[in-house]
Chain A
Amino acid sequence: MAILEGRNLRKTYRLSKKNTVEALKGVEISIDAGEMVAIMGPSGSGKSTLMHLLGLLHTPDPNHGPAPELYLAGQNVASLSDNDRTKIRARRMGFVFQDFNLVPTLTALENVLLACDYAGVKGKAARDSALEALGLVGLADRAGHKPSELSGGEQQRVAIARALVNKPEIILADEPTGNLDSDRSAEVLALLRQFNREHGQTIVLVTHDSEVGDACDRVIKMRDGRIRDNGLRAATPVMATEPVAVPA
């Protein structure tokens, strides 16, 4: 069953009065629940824009032609208000970014708690799930550290804990390994794969790295604002035969 389904998705950015960029020129996409999908393509191909639409950070353009459609688990979310989109982001989605994007003044635990807070989880329940999420990414003992006291790999694992803490249906990751060396990249990928396998979370990640693409169930290839290749979809997501090691 498709958890994310989009049709006629267009996005034009206006850089100045005369200069506009057609980032997406009409995209049709379908992502199944429990899939781990990579979106790949050269710079400017529209992959980040597509992810921003799927993550409800932006809304698709109201086209002159056929109206855009975007369904999240069957609900049309193409023209929701900012407030409603924010609520969905807080409760049903998790985000991981290339630059880790932790709040620098907050400790690892507080960064994770922020996501609980926005999802409406407070107090001890929030603390417990935040500590659990940090435990899952192997950083229980670093909970009190500020981002500046953590390595890049550790920061990205805190960001993953933050994305996971509310057990969202979908995790969207924009170049999650872009700033990491290959060992740390492998760790992060393994973690994402683990949550995908164990909790059935749908993972959509944007990447340049074909190794990352290879590790996913499916690779969607983009070029010039369109999808060139929807990739081979596995009938059912492949289940791991061996448990994936969690980096300590």
Chain B
Amino acid sequence: MRLLRDLGRRKLRSTLTISGIAIGIMALVVFGSMANKVNALIGGGSKYYADKDVVSVGSMYSGNIQPLSLADVDKVAHVDGVAAATPSVEMILDDTSATTMGTPEMISGYVPGGDKGLESFKMDIAQGRKLAPGDKGHITVLGSTLARKLSAEVGGTVTLRKVDFKVIGILAPTLTAPDQEAMVPLDAAQELFVASLPPLIQSKIDATDIATSITVYPAKGVSPETIKTRLEAMLGSSYTVMDGKDFDEMLGSISVIFSLVLTGVAGLSLLVGGLSTINTMAMAVAERTREIGIKRAIGASRWRIRREVVIESAAIGLIAGLIGLAIGAVMTTMFNDLGRASGNVLFDLTLGTAITALAFATGLGAIAGFVPAWGASRLDPVTALRYE
């Protein structure tokens, strides 16, 4: 490998330049992996909410949940254009660990089959079975991340809010919210929800009549927006009706911020790595002026000289990219392993991200090589030969 021999001629300088780019690529890999995770999370939610409306009072994420009555569900179900309306009770699994990045761990109680087969967001079961119509009581289907965190097995028992539940199934990873959820029959969730309220309020509430939200499936040919307008008109302003667009508006900005951070990191590494590579290659060309003179004299075209410099420069980028990718991969895997215990799996290093990072590094090197390559190719062979 002549190329490596040439790089090896100036070990310190090559190493420093490669380190500089490698750090940039590492940052790119780490942030890119985080963006993948966040985008998958938001993308999953966006897909889930795309074809339905969700009715609630207050916002469950602000902790200010006011329960709905099952009577509301009936009212909603009779609105023109609604094909199905089904209640659910959702609450944070553990109040003390609510500050997580990504989605919090949730208990989600619903009526199996309440969607009348209209739910388009399919979740695959990895082990055991899903909740089936008629299921009641203390049984649960766990999301993949939560199951791993709780070391749960199908047939075993997990404790959710101090109550034991039998695990009947574990979902395959969805890369979005359900991975962190424990799905239980509605009645069990209602019981847990009421238990979480202050005693004074508890006594006034009929546990079997509450829901925290109503999922509304529009009939064929009716848009969620139309349903939203109708529901808002009927329910009044104390209710919140959210459709897919609202979800996208709410969380789309997070995607944008991540993209900006990613672009910033990429831009910085472009600048620092690029300038450093230009410097390294310009020095290399200056040192090899005489050699370039020899090559030109014995018949190397300008194009050949340019190609030689650009390839060497691209090789610097590629090596740096490989190192940066390797460090980034080790870091994301390590952080994920550390975070798994608390359910904070923040990084998803995809093949696409890896290839992009490598291509970016190599391209950066090649482009940075153009400047010194151009200078090298313009050298007069006779002058270059006399260069000491």
Interface residues of A (CB under 8 A from B): 52, 55, 57-58, 82-83, 86-87, 89-91, 93-95, 97, 101-106, 110, 114-115, 118-119, 162-163
Contact = CB atoms under 8 A, between A and B. Distances in A.
A114 B297 contact: no
Contact of B2 (A55, A89, A97, A105): A105
Interface stretch (B199-207, B224-232, B247-255, B287-295): B287-295
> For A57, A83, A87, A102, which residue has the most chain B Cβ atoms within 10 angstroms?
A57
8 contacts: A86-B296, A95-B297, A97-B297, A101-B293, A105-B6, A110-B2, A118-B300, A118-B301
B2 A106 contact: yes
Contact of B298 (A58, A83, A90, A105): A90
B355 interface: no
B144 to A, nearest CB: 54
B302 A97 contact: no
Q: Give the secondary structure class of B's interface.
A: helix
A211 B283 CA distance: 42
Contact of A57 (B2, B295, B382): B382
B290 A101 contact: yes
> For A101, A102, A106, A115, which residue has the most chain B Cβ atoms within 10 angstroms?
A101
Contacts of A105: 2, 5-6, 9
Interface residues of B, number: 21
A119 B293 CA distance: 17
A86 B381 CA distance: 10
A80 to B, nearest CB: 13
Nearest to B288: A103
B304 interface: yes
Nearest to B297: A95
A103 B299 contact: no
A97 B291 contact: no
B299 A115 contact: yes
Nearest to A97: B385
B308 to A, nearest CB: 11
Contacts of B9: 105
A162 B299 CA distance: 11
Interface string B358-388: 0000000000000000000000111001000
A119 B300 CA distance: 9
Given A52-B382, A97-B385, A86 B301 contact: yes
A118 B292 CA distance: 13
A114 B295 contact: yes
Interface string B270-293: 000000000000000000001101
A152 B295 CA distance: 20
Given A105-B2, A105-B9, A110-B2, A89 B291 contact: no
A103 B301 contact: no
Contacts of A162: 298
Contact of A89 (B290, B293, B298, B380): B298
A162 B380 CA distance: 21
Contacts of B301: 83, 86-87, 118
Contacts of A101: 290, 293-294, 297, 385
Contacts of A86: 296, 299-302
> For A86, A89, A94, which residue has the most chain B Cβ atoms within 10 angstroms?
A86
Contacts of A91: 299
A153 to B, nearest CB: 19
B291 A58 contact: no
Contact of A87 (B2, B291, B299): B299
